[in-house]
A and B are shown apart, each in its own frame.
Chain A
Amino acid sequence: MTPDKKMKGSRALVAALEHEGCEVIFGYPGGVAIPFYDALYDAKKLRHVLVRHEQGAAHAADGYARATGKVGVCTATSGPGATNLVTGIATAYLDSTPLVAITWQVRSDLIGTDAFQEADITGITLPIVKHSYLVKSAAELPRIVHEAFHIASTGRPGPVVIDIPVDVALGEAVYHEANDIDLPGYRPTFKGHIKQIRAAAKAINEAHRPVLYLGGGAIASNAAPEILRLAELRKLPVATTLMALGAFPETHELSMGMLGMHGTVTANYAVHECDLLINLGARFDDRVTGKLKAFAPHARVIHADVDPAEIGKNVAPLIPIVGDAKHVAAGLVKELEAMEWPAERTAEWLARIAERKHEFPLHYEDPKDGKLAPQLVIQEIDRLTAHDAIICTDVGQHQMWATQYYTYTYPRQFVSSGGLGTMGFGLPASIGAKIAFPDRTVIDISGDGGFQMTMQELATAVSDDVPVVVCILNNGYLGMVRQWQDLFWDKRYSFTCIDASDCAACPQAPHCTRRGRRAQPDFKLLAEAFGAVGITVTKKEEIEPALLEAIGCGRPAVIDFRTSAEENVYPMVPAGQEITEMIGGPGARGKKS
């Protein structure tokens, strides 16, 4: 694009997006979006993917962003189009992913008149954006796009909404490339203060029982190489949050897997017993800490985060460091390399952790109802993809089994809604990830509940030729809520059964609110109706051929795995309890050994 060229606002927007390196935009047209879509008609570099519901556009852009680290972009028309993005924007906000959502707005002079398809989307999204813009003129559009990309992708990343009245798209802009960002109030700190880093390095060097606790910031700042070096340098056992899976290879002997509500026994006990907790880019979320007062009771705490507001929000650290995980880890490595350190200092601790890993691996039993063990399905996916696929998930039991039984080896491999816990995230997110990495196997592990929330995006996958593999762990229940009803609500399965095909034979029928009507679609036929490959798996020996066929067929595919109805996710720390009070804790084996 030639600098300083006069053009319509809509074309200036396309030019600005292309200048920012945006290669794909997920969206859905509508009345006031037509000028932009008209400009897309001629766009040479920018690919548009037509989703089937705007929520899918936001999740697909988010999935693209999580898999690549680049800004994901979605667009929707005014009113309902824009409000349909809201769940996706909130999902990105809670997990701090870089997303730019472009919404179209009624004509400037109609704003505030309750015009057709008018909604105050900057107002509606105010609490769930990092920043937002209501564009006033075509002239400021290119600058706003550049600012939006800058804000979304730097510091603690997050979603930015750009709301553009249709007359702005039609108005005249002089397009010129970036460099006019004007943000006097926005200067994120990346580098930790050297004094704090030195204090932290000293504490690490002196610790007898250290634990490295990684959060999403480790992924967002691309800190994996520095973290690997740091962990190996002082033999730090590593526990990751759900958002950090893949930031440290789980095949590594220092990996303890995930901590928290459904974390490993080893990770949770290590945090409980450690004398130094080194938090890089995590936020002491309640799903991790359980009862906050009893969390890491013996530990001195180092907390490094790029967002100063996270430091001291839930836990007051002894050594706070404002800076991103990458810079802080690199700084720590540099300091530690110059220090003397006797390896015997932590030998006993490492031995204790190794022993516990051996004694309490993840574990499950063959289901009594003769159906598939959901954990086995994930293990088979792990085995057949050699720890190398990009795994996207929905939210619930299948998500937790996906965290537990797949072995994550590289960052951005696990794409999942952690903070907001958005069902329906998996399929559209997997489409975004697959578009970013067409040569990688991308698998959406979903449940029969979550899949039905956004399954219309199968049409997107088919029509845009995005061969994702959807693995539905179909247990006929909204499984995680059913699990809570089972454990904490006297097995009163209120509206959590979504497959009433076999009520006569169902042992839970007396406690259930459903009665005798078939509710669950046949997912194989459904996939085929969309033009995708559909496979039903009911037996162990069918798992491997089904996965190989789905992965190898080069088309979008859905595998309906009929899994055990009342299997629970263990171990489990009940909400608000100490993290050592784990249901199903002791006595186990499985993967993350």
Chain B
Amino acid sequence: MKHTLSILVENKPGVLTRVAGLFARRAFNIESLAVGLSEDPRLSCITIVIDGDEHPVDQVTKQLHKLINVVKIRDLQPDNAVSAELVLVRVAGEGEKRTEALQIAEIFNAKIVDVDRRQLTLRVVGTNDKVEALLELLQPLGVLEVVRTGTIAMGRGRG
């Protein structure tokens, strides 16, 4: 099972290296990683997705906690967290393919952000499942390039 870890770290130079270095040293694989400032400028938020079948999540979290600059870690469960990633996809789009690509884009609420005579670029925001489904549908048209931000996630409010 995939696990999404939300890691609050001190916003200091080299902290990302420490987190990434820890994954390398303990031989944990990262599926995706996204970093940015949090609501507090002294803290950054790192979202990491790992395969929990491959590595005991417990051990990963405990090792992360040992990093001095790591302030808080949450293992976000899908049913009480919201998550999204942003993806840019360039697909071949001539003739009928173009119509089909546009239809798929509409279904997935994707925006066309670039277009020329032969190809078009879609921007979509969504959960990992949605993105995977979109990419699968676009595959027969000819996916030329994909860039993904990696998942970011946040626990749901309890109010």
In the complex, what residues of A have CB within 8 A of residue B14's CB? 122, 134
Q: Is the CB of A123 within 8 A of B59?
A: no
**B158 contacts the other chain (Cβ, under 8 Å)?**
no
Q: Is the CB of B59 within 8 A of A186?
A: no
Which residue from chain A places its CB closest to the CB of B25 in the assembled complex?
A127
Q: Is the CB of B13 within 8 A of A309?
A: no
Shortest Cβ distance from residue A262 to the other chain B in the assembled complex, whole angstroms: 28
Q: Is the CB of B66 within 8 A of A307?
A: yes
Q: Is the CB of A151 within 8 A of B68?
A: yes
**A21 contacts the other chain (Cβ, under 8 Å)?**
no
Query: By CB atoms of chain A within 10 A, which of B18, B25, B56 has the most?
Result: B18
In the complex, what residues of B have CB within 8 A of residue A184's CB? 10, 71
Count residues of chain A with CB under 8 A from any CB of chain B: 18
Shortest Cβ distance from residue B57 to the other chain A in the assembled complex, whole angstroms: 12
**B70 contacts the other chain (Cβ, under 8 Å)?**
yes
**Per-residue contact bits, chain A 116-138, to B (CB 8 Å; 1 contact, 0 not):** 00000011001100110010000
Q: Which of B23-80 contact A (CB under 8 A)?
A: 24-25, 56, 58-59, 62-63, 65-72
**B142 contacts the other chain (Cβ, under 8 Å)?**
no
Partner of B68 from A130, A134, A309 at Cβ < 8 Å: A130
In the complex, what residues of A have CB within 8 A of residue B69's CB? 185
Shortest Cβ distance from residue A316 to the other chain B in the assembled complex, whole angstroms: 10
Partner of A186 from B25, B58, B68, B72 at Cβ < 8 Å: B68
In the complex, what residues of A have CB within 8 A of residue B66's CB? 130, 156, 307, 309
In the complex, what residues of A have CB within 8 A of residue B25's CB? 127
Which residue from chain B places its CB closest to the CB of A313 in the assembled complex?
B59
**A183 contacts the other chain (Cβ, under 8 Å)?**
yes
Partner of A185 from B10, B24, B62 at Cβ < 8 Å: B10
In the complex, what residues of B have CB within 8 A of residue A186's CB? 68
Partner of B21 from A127, A156, A309, A313 at Cβ < 8 Å: A127
**B92 contacts the other chain (Cβ, under 8 Å)?**
no
Q: Is the CB of A309 within 8 A of B62?
A: yes
Shortest Cβ distance from residue B137 to the other chain A in the assembled complex, whole angstroms: 42
In the complex, what residues of A have CB within 8 A of residue B24's CB? 127
**A308 contacts the other chain (Cβ, under 8 Å)?**
yes
Alpha-carbon distance between A122 and B59 when the two chains are bound, in angstroms:
25
Q: Is the CB of B9 within 8 A of A185?
A: yes
Interface range, B side = 20 to 34
In the complex, what residues of A have CB within 8 A of residue B67's CB? 131, 185
Alpha-carbon distance between A229 and B36 when the two chains are bound, in angstroms:
52
In the complex, what residues of B have CB within 8 A of residue A309's CB? 59, 62-63, 65-66
Shortest Cβ distance from residue A528 to the other chain B in the assembled complex, whole angstroms: 45
Partner of A312 from B13, B58, B65 at Cβ < 8 Å: B58
Q: Is the CB of B18 within 8 A of A183?
A: no
**Per-residue contact bits, chain A 183-198, to B (CB 8 Å; 1 contact, 0 not):** 1111000000000000
Shortest Cβ distance from residue B19 to the other chain A in the assembled complex, whole angstroms: 11
Alpha-carbon distance between A130 and B10 when the two chains are bound, in angstroms:
16
Q: Is the CB of A185 within 8 A of B59?
A: no
Which residue from chain A places its CB closest to the CB of B24 in the assembled complex?
A127
**Per-residue contact bits, chain A 297-335, to B (CB 8 Å; 1 contact, 0 not):** 000000000011100110000000000000000000000
Partner of A308 from B10, B13, B56, B62 at Cβ < 8 Å: B62
A308 touching B65 in the complex, CB below 8 Å, given contacts A134-B13, A185-B70:
yes
Which residue from chain A places its CB closest to the CB of B42 in the assembled complex?
A184
In the complex, what residues of A have CB within 8 A of residue B18's CB? 126
In the complex, what residues of B have CB within 8 A of residue A122's CB? 14
Alpha-carbon distance between A315 and B43 when the two chains are bound, in angstroms:
35
In the complex, what residues of B have CB within 8 A of residue A123's CB? 17
Alpha-carbon distance between A126 and B67 when the two chains are bound, in angstroms:
11
Alpha-carbon distance between A312 and B63 when the two chains are bound, in angstroms:
12
Shortest Cβ distance from residue A100 to the other chain B in the assembled complex, whole angstroms: 14
Alpha-carbon distance between A127 and B24 when the two chains are bound, in angstroms:
9
Q: Is the CB of B21 within 8 A of A126?
A: yes
In the complex, what residues of A have CB within 8 A of residue B62's CB? 308-309
Q: Is the CB of A185 within 8 A of B17?
A: no
Alpha-carbon distance between A183 and B10 when the two chains are bound, in angstroms:
9
Query: By CB atoms of chain B within 10 A, which of A151, A185, A307, A309 has the most?
Result: A185
In the complex, what residues of A have CB within 8 A of residue B72's CB? 185
Alpha-carbon distance between A308 and B60 when the two chains are bound, in angstroms:
11
A126 touching B71 in the complex, CB below 8 Å, given contacts A309-B62, A309-B63, A312-B59:
no
Alpha-carbon distance between A352 and B10 when the two chains are bound, in angstroms:
55
**Per-residue contact bits, chain A 457-470, to B (CB 8 Å; 1 contact, 0 not):** 00000000000000
Alpha-carbon distance between A96 and B24 when the two chains are bound, in angstroms:
21
Shortest Cβ distance from residue A578 to the other chain B in the assembled complex, whole angstroms: 25
**Per-residue contact bits, chain A 38-61, to B (CB 8 Å; 1 contact, 0 not):** 000000000000000000000000
Alpha-carbon distance between A151 and B66 when the two chains are bound, in angstroms:
11
Alpha-carbon distance between A151 and B68 when the two chains are bound, in angstroms:
8
Q: Is the CB of B68 within 8 A of A131?
A: yes
Alpha-carbon distance between A588 and B10 when the two chains are bound, in angstroms:
58
Partner of B17 from A126, A131, A156 at Cβ < 8 Å: A126
In the complex, what residues of A have CB within 8 A of residue B63's CB? 309
A185 touching B68 in the complex, CB below 8 Å, given contacts A122-B14, A126-B17, A134-B14:
yes
Shortest Cβ distance from residue A419 to the other chain B in the assembled complex, whole angstroms: 15
Which residue from chain A places its CB closest to the CB of B22 in the assembled complex?
A127
Q: Which of A152-188 contact B (CB under 8 A)?
A: 156, 183-186
Sample 9 A-B pairs with CB under 8 A, ordered by A number.
A123-B17, A126-B21, A127-B24, A130-B66, A131-B68, A134-B14, A185-B72, A309-B65, A309-B66
For the complex with contacts A151-B68, A185-B70, A309-B59, 5 further pairs of A-B residues with Cβ separation under 8 Å are A122-B14, A123-B17, A127-B25, A185-B10, A309-B65
